[in-house]
Structure 1
Amino acid sequence: MRSLLFISISLVSGTLASGFPDLSTRSQTLAACHQISSVISASQVFFPPSDGYISDNKHALVSSSEPSACSVEPGSTQDVGRILQILGNSSTPFGVKSGGHTGNPGFSSTHGVQISLARFNTFKVNTKAKTVELGPSLAWDDVYRRLAPYGVNVIGGRIPGIGVGGLTLGGGYSFQTSQYGLAIDNVVAFELVLPNGTVATVTEANHDLWFALRGGGNNFGIVTKFTFKSFPQGNVWGGAIQYTPGQLDAVKAATAEFGKVTDTKAALITTFVYTPEGVSSAALVFYNAPNPPSGMFDAFLNISILPNDVAADRSFPDFIKAVSVADPPGQRGSFCGFPVTNYSLEFLDAIADQISYWGKNLTALDPNVFVAADAELLDRTVFSHGAPSAYPPDRSLVYFPSILSFTWPNSTLDKTIFHAQRKIANRLRVAALKDGQDVKRAAVYPNYALFDTPLEDMYGKNVPRLRRLKRAFDPKNVMGLTGGFKF
């Protein structure tokens, strides 16, 4: 059964997408591959059709995979520096892959040189300093499992399989963000390979890079290690509840009412999914203690007639397992964010209406299209846990990072799906304004943003400063050769 909460796509098991650059460009790229192979000492270069090449190019969504000329798995920061120098000097396009869960084509993949951070898998718990060192290629669910014996946790991803690197550099929301802030608010140090090949440890003392790396994506080099603050973690309460289309109104009402909750240990994600029978819904409920206060989630528990996965006094890793179920492999997919300041009943009606309208139209083209939207309820103090950072551009404003999640099997629908997501996001912005929400300056969460989202829509007033910093730390625009949102 498909999850109504998240789309957790199985890794591609077949061939990669076709489409190569012209022969001259590919020849130049292969030359860079061989040059890299000749200078690295703790790394390995792979060519098709080797298993290493296939693994390095594989992404969670087939639409995010591209056939690179070669792939390289650097095993030291010094080799990362050498690789960046070669790529920069030869102007060779490249991709940098952490977990490979981006929904945007070309953001962590390439027709050039694919850099996989698979060998940067540091896991080190410092109980005295109350920190945890993590490599960018680790998956968050694996991190939680390995932290459990220590009785501590860190702020990270909510979906199994998500990599540490991409989520953190984009900001990083978690089930405990209301309590502790974003992932970037809990980083105490970055190990960064700068575009010129030098290695630096970036902390709060490095004011400009510290600001830029926290939410600024991959514009300033390649991060090879994150050091996070840790906090005590006991057992939690929560799980997934699914509903029938006939219970939609009750779920919307319960969601709107939950917006009044101010307990920072609580979190809720309500999902709306199109089905031929109508819009179905689901709730992912969480409380950071063995049991929530009496009655807090009763409105969600009492209306469901379907079996649910909600349990008390469960480990945090066990709770994360309840988040998603794998879909069939080979799916294409895309995400699109629509930030809001309030989930009123009227605005939830607008979300459900848009999912219903576009679900009917898109499934008429292909019945295997999956159309969903998530409402993510957080406490209104969510941005008070950290200092100024690239994202969010204004911590005095409160907005929640809602998301549209679509999957489909056929590449001929790509442009149609992207168009639909843009239309929905625009219509929901209009609906939010009519609802009295101040979303004129609401920043789109970069990790949810569609590939063509303007920088100003994510980083607002920070864009000029980030562009200046980009020029200062990457004057040759080496990181402009890779994918992502570019300053």
Structure 2
Amino acid sequence: MRTYLERVVLCYAALSSYGSASKIERDGGVHPRAGVSSSVCSQISAALSSASDVYYSGSTNYSADNSHFFSSSALASACTVEPGTASDVGKILLILGATNTPFAVKAGGHSTNPDFSSTPGVLLATRRFATVAYHASTSTADVGAGLVWDAVYAALQPHGVGAGYSWLTGQYGLAVDNVVGYELVLPDGRVLDVAEESYPDLMFALRGVVTRFTLKTYPMGQIWGGVLTYAADTFPQLAQVVADFSASNTDPKAQIITTYYYAEGSAAASQILFYDAPTPPPGVLDAFLALPSLARELGTMDLLDFIRLPPSNGTADVRKYWGPALSAASGVLVSFAVEPFLPSLFARGSTRTAAYPPARARALLPLSLCRSWTDAAADARLWAAMMQSADNVKAKAVSLGQDVRDAPLYGNYALFTTPVEDIFGQSLPRLRGVKGRYDPRDVMGLAGGWKVPV
């Protein structure tokens, strides 16, 4: 029987008032928001080419730039900058470094952590890097850093190819393992075309601002999939079906995500099924279809239509879901999402070319624990509840014999209080070395995200 190794992760989804908090508690301390002189924004504006613009509070672009999928991630910046060229990004970074100005870089705006892609300082919005160029001769695509996947798939669909998203992980590995190169702007303003052959250390540990990704693409026809909803009384049977799928599935074209959630006084489950062909073969996903469901939307479709199915944007605003335990804390959602992958999950990449995962000898499967709420005053209470849930799940996994006590956490899901050592582990020494070579003044330390210690 396959051992199911869980990577316990957290999804911070506080739906608090936009820019309402004056300080953010982190790692047991309080980090006041740094004041940013308007002269820095003016200095940036004067340095930019006509391809770029600076925006201030009150403008439509400013609001759009600061907007995030989760409002907890949206802060009111001093100004926003929409660079239109990589060289302009270099000019911006030089000014930010020289003035020691805090900043953030926002692409799609789906970060669930405050101060990661948002800032009270200067916000770089990459929305103008929005082109997709497909290269049939190399089966690659250049993808602008300001795009979301819907737009990427829409551009690639006429070519009959797809790229990047985790529904193909069983066949082609992690998204990071399918990146051929980057256009990267270093903290010193230089623009590099980074590839494993030219800059292997930067392929391993990016240091700067990415403006373009070059991704491997794969033939993509119609797929079969969709969403089922199950009532709570189906949970025992569903859990067994998920466990059986995780333990016995060997078909790399089959993927699932199972989400248990509490909704308006009752529990339910959302089951996403995916198969990379117009029809799944008998026996692969039949057990899910045999369970009684409250609703189902399944069929043959394009990948673009599949990823747009509900609940793809179900938590973009306040959702009316919660249970009695934390409803007084303005809670609106609690969910647990299970994402089984094949044991070969990490086999297509290398620790030589990517800092995460720090080791690839065993498959680690993500478990996303999400909480959402509306009142910023409840932040500390809800963060504590999330950590307690994660600790309980991990302790239970360990008690059942799963080797996850020291498993690295997934940075895209982890709460901002997570020590960086718990994510990158044995990759940290090399990360420090790359930082020292390409960012000795720690300009990127002024930005949000995980901080590599000096």
Asked if Structure 1 and Structure 2 have the same fold, meaning a TM-score greater than 0.5 normalized by the shorter chain, the answer is: yes
Task: Give, in angstroms, the shift of residue 369 of structure 1.
Answer: 2.0
State the match for 2:399 in structure 1: 434
Is 2:84–2:128's contact at 8 Å kept on the other side of the alignment? yes
Structure 2 counterpart SS, 1:111: coil
How many residues align structurally?
A: 430
- CA distance 1:75–1:296, change in 2 (3 Å): same
Gaps of 5+ in 2: 1-10, 25-30
2:386 is the counterpart of 1:421: yes
State the match for 1:164 in structure 2: none
> Identity, % of aligned pairs?
41
Aligned partners of 2:177 and 2:312: how far apart in 1? 29
2:425 is the counterpart of 1:460: yes
State the match for 2:195 in structure 1: 203
Is 2:34–2:102's contact at 8 Å kept on the other side of the alignment? no
Task: Give, in angstroms, the shift of residue 277 of structure 1.
Answer: 4.6
One-letter amino acid of the counterpart of residue 339, structure 2: E
One-letter amino acid of the counterpart of residue 124, structure 2: I
- CA distance 1:30–1:449, change in 2 (3 Å): same
Aligned partners of 1:365 and 1:212: how far apart in 2? 39
One-letter amino acid of the counterpart of residue 349, structure 2: G
Is 1:120–1:136's contact at 8 Å kept on the other side of the alignment? yes
State the match for 1:233 in structure 2: 220
One-letter amino acid of the counterpart of residue 192, structure 1: L
Aligned partners of 2:172 and 2:315: how far apart in 1? 35
2:346 is the counterpart of 1:383: yes
Aligned partners of 1:327 and 1:267: how far apart in 2? 20
Aligned partners of 2:252 and 2:143: how far apart in 1? 26
2:62 is the counterpart of 1:53: yes
Matches within 5 A, 1:53-452: 53-156=62-165, 174-205=166-197, 206-213=199-206, 220-259=207-246, 260-311=248-299, 313-324=300-311, 326-327=313-314, 330-331=317-318, 359-366=323-330, 368-388=331-351, 389-452=354-417
Is 2:226–2:306's contact at 8 Å kept on the other side of the alignment? yes
Task: Give, in angstroms, the shift of residue 20 of structure 1.
Answer: 8.7
Structure 1 counterpart SS, 2:347: helix
Aligned partners of 1:400 and 1:451: how far apart in 2? 20
Is 2:154–2:304's contact at 8 Å kept on the other side of the alignment? yes
- CA distance 1:24–1:364, change in 2 (3 Å): closer
Instruction: Give CA deviations for 1:171-209 in whole Å, capped at 9, x if unaligned.
Output: xxx011111011111111110000110011110111211
Aligned partners of 2:60 and 2:33: how far apart in 1? 26
Task: Give, in angstroms, the shift of residue 278 of structure 1.
Answer: 4.0
Task: Give, in angstroms, the shift of residue 316 of structure 1.
Answer: 0.9
Structure 1 counterpart SS, 2:274: strand
Aligned partners of 2:316 and 2:398: how far apart in 1? 39
Aligned partners of 2:296 and 2:258: how far apart in 1? 14
Larger RCO of the pair (alpha carbons < 8 Å, separation 6+): 2
2:44 is the counterpart of 1:36: yes
Is 2:161–2:219's contact at 8 Å kept on the other side of the alignment? yes
Aligned partners of 2:316 and 2:337: how far apart in 1? 22
Task: Give, in angstroms, the shift of residue 440 of structure 1.
Answer: 2.6
One-letter amino acid of the counterpart of residue 96, structure 1: V
Structure 2 counterpart SS, 1:370: strand
Gaps of 5+ in 1: 1-6, 157-173, 214-219, 333-354
Aligned partners of 2:65 and 2:420: how far apart in 1? 29
Aligned partners of 2:371 and 2:424: how far apart in 1? 24
One-letter amino acid of the counterpart of residue 340, structure 2: L
Task: Give, in angstroms, the shift of residue 297 of structure 1.
Answer: 1.4
Moved over 6 A (4+): 20-24
Task: Give, in angstroms, the shift of residue 141 of structure 1.
Answer: 1.5
Aligned partners of 1:266 and 1:434: how far apart in 2? 29
One-letter amino acid of the counterpart of residue 305, structure 1: S
Aligned partners of 1:364 and 1:67: how far apart in 2? 27
Q: Relative to total residues, which structure has the larger helix share, 1 or 2? A: 1
Task: Give, in angstroms, the shift of residue 469 of structure 1.
Answer: 1.3
Structure 1 counterpart SS, 2:424: helix
Structure 2 counterpart SS, 1:109: coil
Aligned partners of 1:100 and 1:29: how far apart in 2? 25
State the match for 1:169 in structure 2: none
Is 2:180–2:195's contact at 8 Å kept on the other side of the alignment? yes
Aligned partners of 2:329 and 2:126: how far apart in 1? 38
Instruction: Give CA deviations for 1:13-34 in whole Å, capped at 9, x if unaligned.
Output: x9643649999963x5311101
Aligned partners of 2:171 and 2:213: how far apart in 1? 21
Aligned partners of 1:272 and 1:414: how far apart in 2? 23
Q: Relative to total residues, which structure has the larger strand share, 1 or 2? A: 2
State the match for 1:344 in structure 2: none
